[in-house]
Structure 1
Amino acid sequence: MIHVLFVCLGNICRSPMAEAMFRDAVQKENLSGRITVDSAATSSWHIGSPPHKGTLAKLKEYNISSEGLSGRQLDTADFEKFDYIIGMDESNISNIREMLGQPDHPKIMRFLDLTDHQKDVPDPYYTGDFQETYVLVKDGCEALLKKIRAEHSLV
């Protein structure tokens, strides 16, 4: 089983959107038995909270299930469990490395470094632009699934 974890600051906007969208892509590719998906926050602000209403609205607009999404904080056990730990921005990456005590580990990567965008996923909690986040997360999900397929010979 391949385990993927998306991480952002609060686990209410970007990372739960990525979790839901990547899970949807995995299901559509009939890989649910091979890939598991989760999300977490570097902060403890929204533990147990549902995703932001903007994230929920965007997922609903594109008919992507938000079932089971709930805020939680990243912990050291995640480093052992997950094969891919995907941060939404450079600040998240720095926090992940510090929290997990792994200053430079290949399983930790910035989401859009897998795409041609090569930038942070802006936080719609602050920008209010959930459509931009959706488009960037969609591109990131496609690139990540392609990477996982190649690295694990999934056809």
Structure 2
Amino acid sequence: MKVTFVCHGNICRSPMAQFILKYLEPKIEVDSKATHTDELGSDMYYPAKVKLTKEGIPFSKHTATLLKSSDYDKSDYFLVMDTENFTNTVIRLNGDPQNKVFRLLEFTGENRDVADPWYTGNFDKAYDDILKGCKAFLENVNRKI
């Protein structure tokens, strides 16, 4: 199984989610992508690295990359951080005929977005939301197996 996390710039939320899910379930192939070109080529934002380190989540070198329509067939799930990027993800993928695109917090039963710490500065809240979403996603997937 392959999961691709998606956010605006691919430097905060989606790479945090990538490394959190990989930590929780090493058997899953995990990637992350951006819907915009703002930060392409950039590493994960330093405060995101600090938060992952504080929580004991290992991470490796990250390079922000853009989501492309060709990614659709390479992933089983696209887990998106917010409503705006959900829309942009579906557009960038040229649709979602196989229903692979979800907002991450849908799996928790909550109809809300993972707040962007780039704007809020609150990496603790983003981490908590992402962790909660990843755990709920894994529970959902395990029920289907």
SS of the aligned residue for 1:71 comes to coil
| Structure 2, unpaired ranges of 5+ | none
Q: 1:64 to 1:104 in 2, by over 3 A?
A: same
Is residue 12–residue 50 contact of structure 1 (8 Å, CA) maintained in 2? yes
- Letter paired with 2:67: L
Q: Of 88, 97, 102, which residue of structure 2 is paired with 1:109? A: 102
- Counterpart for residue 10 of structure 1: 9
Q: Identical aligned pairs, as a percentage? A: 35
* CA-CA distance at 1:103 after TM superposition: 5.5
Does residue 53 in structure 1 map to residue 52 in structure 2?
A: no
Of residues 41, 62, 68, the one that matches 2:34 is: 41
Query: Aligned Cα RMSD in Å?
Result: 1.2
Match of 1:73 in 2: 66
The alpha-carbon deviation at position 12 of structure 1 amounts to 0.4
| Counterpart check, 1:129 vs 2:84 | no
Runs of 4+ residues over 4 Å off in structure 1: none
| Distance in structure 2 (CA, Å) of the matches to 1:122 and 1:12 | 14
Shift of 1:47: 1.7
Structure 1 segments unaligned to the other structure (5+ residues): none
- 1:78-101 Cα offsets, whole Å, 9 max, x none, are 101000011100001100111111
Q: How many residues align?
A: 145
Q: What's the secondary structure of 2:32's corresponding residue?
A: strand
Tell me how far apart the structure 2 counterparts of residues 77 and 22 of structure 1 sit (CA, whole Å).
23
Q: Kindly tell me: are residues 128 and 104 of structure 1, through their superposed partners in 2, closer, same or farther at Cα, counting changes over 3 Å?
A: farther
1:148 to 2:126 alignment: no
